[in-house]
Amino acid sequence: MMEVRYPVEDKYSFHLRAKGDIYRIDTAPHHPEISTYPRHIHFKREDRIIEDRITNLGNSPEENFKEAMVWVRGLLTPYE
């Protein structure tokens, strides 16, 4: 299941569940220790936070969505 939230251009969340793992790219201001703050990724687990090198706050919503989908496709390939 994929859920996309994009209320305004610089706030977004792309949330994917696959085989019990979660992957979420978002801009919630919760992890200032990450160099890409506020952009970050929850990778496989809610508490595993990594840098977001996929989206960019300067991109349009369409560009960020496209980049997120390319990343998701790469994640899902092993499940096919």
User: 69-78, pLDDT tens digit by residue?
Assistant: 999 998 887 6
Which amino acid belongs to residue 21?
D
* 80 pLDDT higher than 60: no
User: 2-59, pLDDT tens digit by residue?
Assistant: 899 999 888 999 999 988 999 999 999 999 999 999 999 999 999 999 999 999 999 9
Task: Tokens for 70, please give them.
Answer: 């390319």
The pTM of this model reads 0.89
pLDDT on residue 79 = 57
Report the C-alpha gap between 38 and 30 in whole angstroms: 7
Segments making up each domain of the chain, as ranges: 2-79
Return the closest-CA partner of residue 31 out of 8, 47, 18, 53: 47
pLDDT on residue 1 = 80
